[in-house]
Amino acid sequence: MSDLLHLLRLARPWALRMTLGILLSVTVILSNVALLALSGWFITSMALAGAGSLVLEFFTPAAAIRGLAVLRTFARYLERLVTHDATLRLLSVLRVWFYQQLAPLAPARLQDFRDGDVLARLRADIDSLDNFYLRILTPAIAGLISSVIILAALFWFSPAVAVINTVVLVLAGIVIPLLIASATHASGHQIARLRAALQAASTDLVRGLGELQVVGAVTRQTDHLRQLSQQLIGAQRRQAWLAALGGSLSALMGQLGMFVAFLFLFRAGYAGHITASEIVMLLFTVLASTEAVAGLPAAFAALGTTREAARRLFSMAEIEPAVVLPASSRKPESFELAFSAVTMRYAPEAPKVLDQLSFNVPAGECLAILGPSGAGKTTILNLVQGFWDCTAGEVKIGGQQVKTLSDEVLRQLISVVGQKTYLFNASIRDNLRLVAPDAADEQLWEALSRAALADEVRTFPQGLDTLVGELGARLSGGQARRIAIARAYLSDAPIILLDEPTEGLDAVNTDLVLNCLKDLIKGKTTLLVTHQIQPLVLANSRLQLDIN
């Protein structure tokens, strides 16, 4: 329940719109019940009037029936419009909120999660929460309000019929939905988990397709996907059957309630307590009243999935970031880097990655960091970027500790060129403007020229509008690396981090990249991590690391 209450707090900006949707839903339910009840009364009264047993004023009830029919149609349209609009707005708020919770966790706290699982939480789990307002909250509150009004109207005509209908609504709107919720609890949780597993397995298959083909494991992975899909379909089928069973039982309660009310009213009518027209009206009211709770069995069947989706979202959002940077800070006046007796463990029980490491990089100079895998080279870059906080010691930029700098200031100070350049499936222009959203095309071309890529981009039929493909698949490794260099030129950050900048490149592209980097790092404080000899021409000094 705490997760659902958290959802309500997040939905507070749309409380008025959501309340309007609930009121419109109440209007639809009451107009439907009133239309059926009045129609039964009118038809019976017309028959009695035709037999000469009753004098009937025709025009008023006929106009009321037409008015209720119009009201029902109009209210239904507005209810669908308002509730779906509120649901979509709530989902958009949730996506932005969840992304804001994820941002401080990257990359340190997200490395324990599979990419597909994070994507499943951002998409499938949030999509599952459309049930919360549209199929759970609105039907439940609207059903409660409508039931109270219906029972009050019945009590005015016949307290006994009101008692019968109360039993019907309690069974159809409370007992049966709770039984359905209990029966679907396990399958609801299973659906949320299987969706995440299926998303993760699909991501693994797509991203690792080349490697899977090499080792002949594509069939095994597709079989795993098929098994997950079948399990998900089975869980969804069980949930759908139970929801349909709940709906059928609720409808049956309405039929039984009408039958019991008929037995009572038949006797009461002949005793002279109530007219034949009113008997029919009350019977139709009892029958139609179950519409107030008709959607609850299906809603409660989806409750398990909704709760599990909410739990998965909030459990990730509640993770403490590895480093909590201040909201604001002043920019350092100089840009030298200093490590003072830095010790680093990634967990209290884990071995030391860095042990009492100290070094200085004067402003405007380049330090090459060498050493075998596992010696802590990448850890040094992560500490400079504020992704982790050291276990002991201090990491400073311009005399200020990194952990005292705000995220905004820190990102303005640092630019990274690594062996893995992430490119979005967008145009070259859009990928460059990630670091300079307001940059004019002239600035983009200048950055590409300094990255030795302008001539190649001009040969593309669409120039800057060329789509780079998923993860930059339409560009070569060297071109992708030089787009990263162009980004660094556009950002004009005073500190440059080079993480294996020539790894995986052929000799021609290595020379191109190194020539561009020589110009890029002039006057910039630079850390260079490399296993290769060629990039060492960029460095003023070297630091050799060993595995502890």
According to the model, what pLDDT value does residue 277 have?
84
Q: How far apart are CA 145 and CA 289, in angstroms?
A: 12
Q: 25 and 333 in contact (C-beta within 8 Å)?
A: no
Are 306 and 392 within one domain?
no
Q: Is the pLDDT of residue 452 over 80?
A: yes
Beta partners for 400?
397
Establish if 388 belongs to a structural domain.
yes
295 φ, ψ (degrees, to nearest 5) = -85, -5
Cβ neighbours of residue 286 closer than 8 Å, sequence gap 6 or more = 154, 161, 164, 165, 168, 254, 257, 258, 261
Are 167 and 19 within one domain?
yes
Token pair listed for 534 = 């060629």
Token look-up 């060129």 returns 417
Helix (H, G, I), strand (E, B) or coil at 21: helix
Establish if 327 belongs to a structural domain.
no
- CATH code of residue 161: 1.20.1560.10
Single out the residue of 154, 165, 180 nearest to residue 295, CA to CA.
180
How many C-beta atoms surround the C-beta of residue 363 within 10 A?
16
Q: Is the pLDDT of residue 201 over 60?
A: yes
How many C-beta atoms surround the C-beta of residue 130 within 10 A?
18
DSSP state of 8: H
Dihedral angle, C-alpha 412, 413, 415, 416, nearest 10 °: -120
Q: Is the pLDDT of residue 381 over 60?
A: yes
Q: How far apart are CA 390 and CA 344, in angstroms?
A: 5
Q: 406 and 326 in contact (C-beta within 8 Å)?
A: yes
Are 276 and 402 within one domain?
no
According to the model, what pLDDT value does residue 166 have?
93
Single out the residue of 183, 173, 118, 112 nearest to residue 141, CA to CA.
173
Q: How far apart are CA 411 and CA 415, in angstroms?
A: 8
Are 313 and 412 within one domain?
no
H/E segment holding residue 395: strand 392-397
400 φ, ψ (degrees, to nearest 5) = -105, 135
Of 162-176, 272-286, 460-474, give the range with the top mean pLDDT. 162-176
Binning pLDDT at 50, 70 and 90, where does residue 56 land?
Answer: low
Q: What angle do CA 103, 107, 109 make, to 5 degrees?
A: 85
Strands in 345-384 per DSSP E: 354-361, 366-370
Q: Are strands 392-397 and 400-401 parallel, antiparallel or unpaired?
A: antiparallel
According to the model, what pLDDT value does residue 272 have?
54
Higher pLDDT, 318 or 23: 23
Are 24 and 125 within one domain?
yes
Are 344 and 208 within one domain?
no
Binning pLDDT at 50, 70 and 90, where does residue 268 land?
Answer: low
Cβ neighbours of residue 138 closer than 8 Å, sequence gap 6 or more = 18, 21, 22, 25, 83
- CATH code of residue 498: 3.40.50.300
Establish if 322 belongs to a structural domain.
no
Single out the residue of 138, 67, 85, 83 nearest to residue 294, CA to CA.
138
According to the model, what pLDDT value does residue 322 have?
83
Are 312 and 347 within one domain?
no
Q: Which of 288, 317, 346 is at the close of a domain?
A: 317
According to the model, what pLDDT value does residue 164 have?
92
Binning pLDDT at 50, 70 and 90, where does residue 270 land?
Answer: very low
Establish if 323 belongs to a structural domain.
no
Q: 391 and 345 in contact (C-beta within 8 Å)?
A: yes
Q: 397 and 335 in contact (C-beta within 8 Å)?
A: yes
pLDDT tens digit string along 21-55? Answer: 999 999 999 999 999 988 888 888 888 777 766 66
Establish if 325 belongs to a structural domain.
no
The residue range of the domain holding 179 is: 2-317
Token look-up 């309630």 returns 257
221 φ, ψ (degrees, to nearest 5) = -70, -40
Q: 375 and 382 in contact (C-beta within 8 Å)?
A: no
Query: Average pLDDT of 323-328?
Result: 84
Are 402 and 254 within one domain?
no
Establish if 331 belongs to a structural domain.
no
Are 291 and 397 within one domain?
no
According to the model, what pLDDT value does residue 394 have?
93
Establish if 154 belongs to a structural domain.
yes
Q: Is the pLDDT of residue 343 over 50?
A: yes
Binning pLDDT at 50, 70 and 90, where does residue 380 land?
Answer: very high
Are 312 and 343 within one domain?
no
Query: Average pLDDT of 414-437?
Result: 86
Are 359 and 297 within one domain?
no
Are 252 and 209 within one domain?
yes
Binning pLDDT at 50, 70 and 90, where does residue 401 land?
Answer: very high
Predicted TM-score (pTM) of this structure: 0.72
Count of the separate structural domains present in the chain: 2
Q: Which of 317, 348, 375 is at the close of a domain?
A: 317
pLDDT averaged over every residue in the chain: 86
Establish if 121 belongs to a structural domain.
yes
Sign of CA dihedral 359, 363, 367, 369: positive
Q: How far apart are CA 134 and CA 306, in angstroms?
A: 12
Q: 82 and 17 in contact (C-beta within 8 Å)?
A: yes
DSSP 322-337: S----S--PPPS---E
